[in-house]
Amino acid sequence: MQRNPGESDFHQAVKEVVETLGPVLHKHPEYAEHKIIERICEPERQIIFRVPWQDDNGEVHINRGFRVGFNSALGPYKGGLRFHPSVYLGTIKFLGFEQVFKNAITGMPLGGAKGGADFDPKGRSDSEVMRFCQSFMTELYRHLGEYTDVPAGDIGVGGREIGYLFGQYKRITNRYESGVITGKNPHWSGSLVRREATGYGCAFFVDEMLKVRHDTIEGKICIVSGSGNVAIYAMEKLLALGAKVVACSDSDGVIHHPKGIHLDTVKRLKEIERHRICDYASEHKDAQYIAGGNIWDIPCQIAMPCATQNELDERSARQLIANGCIAVGEGANMPTTPGGVKAFHEAKIAYGPGKAANAGGVATSALEMQQNASRDAWSFEFTEKRLQEIMRNIHHECYETAAEYGDSSNYVIGSNISGFHRVAEAMLAFGVI
């Protein structure tokens, strides 16, 4: 904490992992001897750069760009880019740190990284977003490569931004290097199911947690925070599996629609028109919009936080439990505060931490890289089947690892230990580098 002052999100992410590793370090004294913990907490590289761009009126703006290559023991750096005004080095380091373990438990050959900028795409025209992305990539490109570092999307970076970023990379490098970025449009070397993968994968993970408890998603009342990429496709899969989704949100407020959210309306408002979620209520008169509301106060059986970090605190967790919630699947990264996680564990509800539950996104990015490397394009059905198998395997691995260390219902222990173990073994093999 002294070496990384002011980076509270990063401190929180590291603490949450390190606290669970005691039994592994006990079993493997060689990890301490080779200072694996100290090494794993220090990013391999951190790049910070200026991103100048001009708005539609010709005014010049300066943003700050980041790319943190956290760990490349298992493969090239891999992790998304976040464009949000709240982004600072601590955000990128927390996300990069989480990504190391998440990527490891997918079993794919991927290192961990994250990047982004304190740029706010909200309210910006397509041309402004294009100029920003081009300026961002004009610096970032020299640090990327399909064997070096492969970014993707995250908050504020969707299909449009990936298009502009890849276009500029291709232009500067004179190479059509598809495998340098994932989340591309399937029309130009992207993978089907990548857009849906994080949300679908998270619903699959919740389904697996419920199966262990001899239960199912079918017929359950669900709430999903956010209304971006992860939230929309989490809702889509929940609906396909027979659940009823009654609420979603954005950073301004919450929509509560007891008869069931109309996903087509959310998709049009958010993916095409780029509007606010409050507009949903003007189209569906029986839905209620709660400006600045707390979505976790709405009764449900399954809760899926799919917006941002620390959006679900201890009070909200206790409210969910009191309202009869039986399962939580984290589509977002670190959305539940430590107090909230403790409450879920005490209540013994099925709690799937983001590191495991939202790993379907990066796993499908690895499938996109496979298709790029073999100049192939898989069908939607085949790719979704692969995603479902991967989520089943991740669940199994977390469950078994947690059981080995004393508590099969604790997926936090399961995901942290199994991810750490893989990375630590590779780091040991490579010597002191």
Distance in angstroms (rounded) separating the CA atoms of residues 421 and 415:
10
Residue in the structure block whose two tokens are 């564990």: 345
Minimal distance, residue 171 CB to ligand NDP, in Å: 25
Residues marked active site are found at 114
Residue 304 sits at the vertex; the CA angle it makes with 87 and 89, to the nearest 5 degrees, is: 15
Task: Tell me whether residue 99 is annotated as binding.
Answer: yes
Task: Tell me whether residue 309 is annotated as binding.
Answer: no
Task: Tell me whether residue 102 is annotated as binding.
Answer: yes
Minimal distance, residue 336 CB to ligand NDP, in Å: 11
DSSP symbol at 268: I
Minimal distance, residue 307 CB to ligand NDP, in Å: 3
Nearest residue to the partner ligand NDP, using Cβ:
228
Task: Tell me whether residue 189 is annotated as binding.
Answer: no
Give the residue among 415, 425, 418, 424 at the shortest CA–CA distance from 16.
Answer: 415
Minimal distance, residue 219 CB to ligand NDP, in Å: 26
| Per-position DSSP letters for 70-107, written without gaps between them | EE-SSSSEEEEEEE-TT--HHHHHHHHHHHHHHHHHTT
Indicate the burial class of 39 (C-beta count within 10 angstroms; 0-12, 13-18, 19 or more).
Answer: middle
Minimal distance, residue 248 CB to ligand NDP, in Å: 8
Which of 31, 236 has the CB closer to ligand NDP? 236
CA 28 to chain centre: 30
Cα of first residue to Cα of last residue in the chain, in angstroms, is 23
Which of 65, 228 has the CB closer to ligand NDP? 228
Chain residues in the site for ligand NDP (CB under 6 A): 153-156, 158, 198, 226-231, 250-252, 306-308, 311, 331-333, 358, 361
Which of 200, 420 has the CB closer to ligand NDP? 200
Residue 156 DSSP SS3:
coil
Q: Where are the beta strands (DSSP E) in 292-365?
A: 302-305, 327-329, 350-352
Which of 330, 397 has the CB closer to ligand NDP? 330
Task: Tell me whether residue 78 is annotated as binding.
Answer: yes
Distance in angstroms (rounded) separating the CA atoms of residues 85 and 64:
10
Which of 230, 417 has the CB closer to ligand NDP? 230
302, 192, 392, 415 alpha-carbon torsion, rounded to 10°: -80
Residue ranges of the annotated binding site for NAD(+) are 198, 229
Residue ranges of the annotated binding site are 78, 99, 102, 153, 198, 229, 365
Residue ranges of the annotated binding site for substrate are 78, 99, 102, 153, 365
